Amino acid sequence: MRKLPSLSMLRLFEETCRSLSFSKAADALFITQSAASRQMKQLEAFLGRDLFIRSHSGLMLTQEAILLLPVVRQSLDILEEGIRHVQLPNPLQHLRLQVAPTFATRWLAPRLARLCQRNSQLQIALISEARQKYSDFDCAVRFGTPEESVHNGEWLGHEALVMVGSPLLRINGNYPPYTAVPSLHVLSGDLRLGNWQRWCEAAGVSDLSKGCGLEFSTQDQAINACITGTGYAVLDRSMIRNELASGMLIQLSPLVLTSANGYWLETPPGKKVLPRVAWFRDWLVEEMGTLSQDDVLPALAGSL
């Protein structure tokens, strides 16, 4: 049997931390102030720790409360999310996906209509990767290396890297040398991905990966900056197919490199047997397999 305080105590604790007032917390939870004060004392007795410093000027959180608050909030979020999931009209057809940000925005979202056409009963929810440790999900599309997928999922494919720039950078019809404009880099944590380094090595030019340039936390941000003429970027061709086809971005070199990174499908234990997961997996693999057929590139702008 779990040794936990009551849900009402935890809700009161969270609300009191937010308002720093027992009376405001009591009003928000539709209980009396005396009931709120009594429950908080019971919670502190259960924990054997004081959670608030009480003074005439108001309440302050103790160090124990500061440590406990994020855990309580995450737990209540999970509980709330799970209850909403059960309340769905058809939870068996509600597919919960966690997807790498750029993949979700630039690859998956434009194709979801095809998946819905295949199964009109399927409902899809995209969940932020930032909550992957705390949220239940059916499957996820992760960004990383093939080694990461070996024990955790199914490898989907590598990125195809190309160097691109905006037509806005042209001067008298010509693009400036790649050393004359900022290089746009994508971060993985605090470090730059090796896209520029790999391109420079293949092109036989000086490596810009450790020099000046602009850094972005997602490839989507780098793409948007490149479109506005901020600089040149080495990007995954499948993520900018529409921009290349429309001329918003131009491939500046014939080099197409296989990245060390790519995408893989993670499915938690027990979820692979779910029909909605099988449908999504089969559709995703089929769609990924058509990338080379769909990715028709415009004429190159020529070397820099």
What gap in Å lies between CA 177 and CA 55, rounded to an integer?
A: 66
Tally Cβ neighbours within 10 Å of residue 99. 22
Q: Are 33 and 22 in contact (CB under 8 A)?
A: yes
Instruction: Report the predicted TM-score, pTM, of the whole model to 2 decimal places.
Output: 0.65
Per-residue pLDDT reduced to its tens digit, 251-285: 999 999 999 999 999 998 878 878 888 888 988 99
The better pLDDT of the pair 164, 131 is held by 164
Worst-scoring range by mean pLDDT, 90-99, 130-139, 274-283? 130-139
Q: Which residue has the higher pLDDT, 175 or 293?
A: 175
User: Are 91-152+268-292 and 156-262 the same fold in CATH?
Assistant: yes
Angle at 295 between CA 293 and CA 296, to 5 degrees: 100
Average pLDDT over residues 143-168: 91
Q: pLDDT band at 135, cuts 50/70/90?
A: low
Count of CA atoms in the C-beta half-sphere (13 A) of 219: 24
Tell me the sheet residues that pair with 184: 214, 233
Closest CA to 151 of 278, 269, 69: 269
pLDDT averaged over the chain? 85
CA dihedral 154→159→160→162, nearest 10 degrees, is 180
DSSP string of the chain? ------HHHHHHHHHHHHHS-HHHHHHHTT--HHHHHHHHHHHHHHHTS--EEEETTEEEE-HHHHHHHHHHHHHHHHHHHHHHHHHSS-GGGEEEEEE-HHIIIIIIGGGHHHHHHH-TT-EEEEE-GGGTTTS--SEEEEEE-HHHHTTTEEEEEEEEEEEEE-GGG-BTTBPPPGGGSPEEEEEETTEE-SHHHHHHHHHTS---TTSS-EEESSHHHHHHHHHTTS-EEEEEGGGSHHHHHHTSSEE-SS--EEEEEEEEEE--TTTTTSHHHHHHHHHHHHHHHTHHHH-PPPPP----
* Reported confidence tier of residue 161, pLDDT bands at 50, 70, 90: very high
Least confident of 164-173, 244-253, 265-274: 265-274
Class assignment of domain 7-87?
mainly alpha
- What is the pLDDT at residue 29? 92
Q: State both tokens at 249.
A: 């971005």
* Gyration radius of the chain over CA positions: 26
Question: Residue 292 — pLDDT band, cuts 50, 70, 90?
Answer: very low
CA 174 to chain centre: 37
pLDDT tens digits, one per residue of 48-91: 999 999 888 888 999 999 999 999 988 887 787 667 666 655 55
**Where residue 141 falls among pLDDT bands split at 50, 70, 90?**
very high
Domain locations in the chain as residue ranges: 7-87, 91-152+268-292, 156-262
Instruction: Dump pLDDT digits (tens) for 200-228.
Output: 889 888 776 566 789 999 999 999 999 99
Higher pLDDT, residue 259 or 112: 259
Q: 175 near 169, Cβ under 8 Å?
A: yes
Residue 14 has pLDDT above 80, yes or no: yes
Among the residue ranges 81-85, 292-296, 300-304, the one predicted with the least confidence is 292-296
Give the C-alpha separation, 77 to 228, whole Å. Answer: 38
Tell me how far apart the alpha carbons of residues 265 and 263 are, in angstroms, rounded to a whole number: 7
Work out the average pLDDT over 101-130: 81
Exposed/middle/buried for 262, CB within 10 Å: 0-12, 13-18, 19+? buried
How far does Cα 182 stand from its chain's mean position?
A: 26
Q: Is the pLDDT of residue 157 over 70?
A: yes
Give dist(CA 6, CA 42) in Å, integer: 10
- Confidence label for 294 from pLDDT (cuts 50, 70 and 90): very low
Q: Measured between alpha carbons, how far is 205 from 197 in angstroms, rounded to an integer?
A: 10
Read off the pLDDT of each residue in 30-48 and give the average, rounded to a whole number.
93
Tokens of 22: 């027992």
**For residue 291, what pLDDT band results from cuts at 50, 70 and 90?**
low
- Say what the pLDDT of residue 1 is: 75
For residue 299, the model assigns a pLDDT of 37
Which CATH superfamily includes the segment(s) 91-152+268-292?
A: Periplasmic binding protein-like II (3.40.190.10)
Question: 131 or 251: whose pLDDT is higher?
Answer: 251
156-262 classified as CATH 3.30.70.1070: no
